[in-house]
Structure 1
Amino acid sequence: MDPLIVLFGLGVGVLVGMTGIGGGSLMAPLLILGAGVQPVVAIGTDLAYGAITKTVGGWRHLRAGTVDMGLSIWLAVGSVPGSLVGVYALDRLHDTYGEDFDPILLTLVASMLLVVALAILFRALFLTKLIARERDTVELSRGTKALAIGIGAAIGVLLGLTSVGSGALIGLALILIFHMTPHRVVGTDVFHAAVLLWVAGLAHFASGNVDLVLTANILAGSIPGVWFGTWLMQRVPANGLRPVLGCVLLGSALAVMSKAGVDVPVAAIVGIPLAVGLFAAIVYRVRPPAPQPTREAVAPA
């Protein structure tokens, strides 16, 4: 039993339970930087532990009624086969080129996460009138289903390659494209990720990229962490959860940059999102209350 790995699992588990984000974007860099795990093994182990962790969170969100089951299914139609393509591509590229392709790919992913984080924070803090467009349920038209499949497929490939995307990128799509309320974003995101990560994790296990002892250490912290985080999410106001989502994405971007080889101190990965969160808290205290979303279904923009 490694107390440091258990602590990593606990902290990331709380974030996953509260926001649906952080498992793949934070745990793999923590394993590489904090425990010296080989990147390919870190990615495979990350996905394997994440499957179990998010199953716990997904079950709790399902019971709490924060899951849009229809949208989750159509996202999985694209993301499950996409993740298998990503795992296969990772194995082929690793066998052919070694680790030379990793920094470029991860830098692109980190840049995308950074842009996404800034966009969500700007929207949450300065475009509050748009919050009134958020809805609890998405109307599943033919176009909506096709869009969900396409988004799921693209993110599934990225997930299989890097372990990043099951929370951060799907959560972004649920917010910006499908206009879902924050609590439904988290519930739907975690539930869908549980299905996706089982497939990708088993594929990595079959490829020999999963360390079972390391997985057990992470789970010792992450299972109680995600349980507590899910409980805590039900007691956090929606207006407070929006900047939290953005701050976690910002931390994810910095962590992935570090994984890609950029010199980003651990203090910055933690401190910058906390500083932005403090700024967000000040903004929320001095501005008028945001309009509340209605409860009618709406198709994506």
Structure 2
Amino acid sequence: MLLTYITAGFGVGLLVGMTGVGGGSLMTPLLTLLFGVSPTVAVGTDLAFASITKGAGTITHRLNGTVDWAIVRRLCLGALPAAFVATLGLRHFGALDAGIGQLIRYSIAGSVMLTVVALLFRKRMLAWMHAKPSRQLQGNSLVTATVVSGAVLGVLVTVSSIGAGAIGATLLVMLYPKLTPAEVAGTDIAYAVPLTAIAALGHWWLGSIDWTLLLTLLIGSLPGITLGSMLARKVPERFLRTLLALALTGVAAKLIY
């Protein structure tokens, strides 16, 4: 079974390296559907997984100067308190309760579908924003929208472990269309580190992290991400994102039905 988890970690790492999509939208449904891990444990383990892998990514982006720390602070201002409150909510209602587990299962499905929308329509959203610059937020309105977006992502990530990747990046593109792709990726990864770390600590407090599972996933994912990054330029991005969107749609349908 350990070899199966390592293989799964490698596969997810490979896809993340090639597409740039957050591992939560792939790993959490995989653990829930294929390996029978309870939704709450799948979320908690994936959050710990994400905090470690995104931490390594942040170091690289910081060295390359592709992190906008002002935006990171605004996102964290909303995301971190929201993650804390969401953790308390899970604690109060019973994170390991069967009913809460089913609710988390539905939230995972919803987050997966939001990821699909982000994958398929991100370029169109960006084109629309550039075509209508007068509708772009400025000043205090932009700061407020960023903080609120962080709060929404904080709840979404804590409950489902999904949202910090494709959804977060899409929100950054909509709010800050002048950011370069590298800056979007770096900023998205940087704010997700404290968010996933706090959410993971919350799930550790709830007792919903499988540490053996986490270790085996990391063993597989690190070489997978490296190989995927090397292959990224050789495989058409549009093909990969379309294939991934179709697969995630099927995952969401399976989670619901």
Whole-angstrom CA distance in 2 between matches of 1:61 and 1:229: 18
Whole-angstrom CA distance in 1 between matches of 2:240 and 2:187: 17
- Quick check: 2:72–2:190 contact (8 Å CA) kept in 1? yes
Structure number with the higher helix fraction is: 2
1:235-250 aligned at under 5 Å gives the runs 248=244
Q: Which region of structure 1 is more displaced relative to structure 2, 193-202 or 171-180?
A: 171-180
- Cα drift, residue 9 of structure 1: 1.6
- Quick check: 1:17–1:57 contact (8 Å CA) kept in 2? no
2:34 is equivalent to residue 39 of structure 1: no
Name the CA shift for 1:228/1:116 in 2 (closer, same or farther; >3 Å).
Answer: same
**Greater RCO (Cα-Cα under 8 Å, separation 6 or more):** 2
Structure 1 unaligned runs (5+)? 263-301
Aligned to 1:26: 26
Aligned to 2:72: 72
Provide the TM-score with structure 1 as the length reference: 0.70
- Quick check: 2:104–2:159 contact (8 Å CA) kept in 1? no
Structure 2 unaligned runs (5+)? none
Which one-letter code corresponds to 1:112 in the other structure? L
Residue deviations 1:32-62 (CA, integer Å, cap 9, x gap): 2222211111110010111101111121122
Whole-angstrom CA distance in 2 between matches of 1:57 and 1:81: 23
Aligned residues: 251
Which one-letter code corresponds to 1:113 in the other structure? T
Which one-letter code corresponds to 1:201 in the other structure? A
Q: Aligned match of 2:168 in 167, 170, 175?
A: 170
> Percent identical across equivalent pairs?
33
Provide the TM-score with structure 2 as the length reference: 0.81
2:107 is equivalent to residue 108 of structure 1: no
- Quick check: 1:18–1:232 contact (8 Å CA) kept in 2? yes
Whole-angstrom CA distance in 1 between matches of 2:183 and 2:48: 25
Name the CA shift for 1:96/1:168 in 2 (closer, same or farther; >3 Å).
Answer: same
Name the CA shift for 1:177/1:128 in 2 (closer, same or farther; >3 Å).
Answer: closer
1:47-66 aligned at under 5 Å gives the runs 47-66=47-66
Whole-angstrom CA distance in 1 between matches of 2:20 and 2:77: 20
Residue deviations 1:177-221 (CA, integer Å, cap 9, x gap): 321332222221122212211111111111100011000001112
